[in-house]
Amino acid sequence: MIAEYQEKVKSYVSANKSDLFTAALIFLVGLGSFGLGRLSAIWPDKQPIRVTESHASSTDAVRAGENGGRPQIASVAAEIKGKFVVSKNGKYYHFPWCPGALRIKGSNKVWFQTKEAAEARGYKPAGNCPGL
């Protein structure tokens, strides 16, 4: 009786080798993935990166023609006077770091603290400024 079952198992295994191999491979990959997931739970947590000091100053502004005429981040941060900026001659308001705002000359900038204040003066959100 046991010999009959052995013969049936052998014939089944020989007839379905590729299917059994695929099933075993899927099982082992799943088992390995589960093990790696459990292993990652015991690894120490990573600490966030914090910027505590900036070595750039507002005098680092780029002269016209250099770097595509765009000011560096430090100089943009030094001249921000509100949350939204518009051009005296334009129709759209921007965040100070948006590409359109970086092209506005300093003498033409008008600052607003809220979107509502800019919209009350007739300005619309800029299309190339993500988040507006």
> How many whole angstroms separate alpha carbon 16 and alpha carbon 65?
71
Distance from first CA to last CA of the chain, Å, rounded? 78
The per-residue pLDDT for range 23-56, each reduced to its tens digit, is 999 999 999 999 998 888 887 777 777 877 655 4
What value does the mean pLDDT of the chain take?
A: 81
Q: Enumerate the domain spans of the chain.
A: 2-41, 72-125
Outline where DSSP puts E strands in 26-112.
84-87, 92-94, 109-112
Those residues with Cβ within 8 angstroms of residue 132's Cβ, 6 or more apart along the chain or in another chain:
93, 94, 95, 115, 125, 126
Q: What is the pLDDT of residue 55?
A: 54
Q: Report residues of the chain scoring pLDDT below 70.
A: 53-79
Query: What pLDDT score does 62 carry?
Result: 38
According to the model, what pLDDT value does residue 54 have?
A: 58
Q: Which pair of tokens denotes residue 43?
A: 């690894």
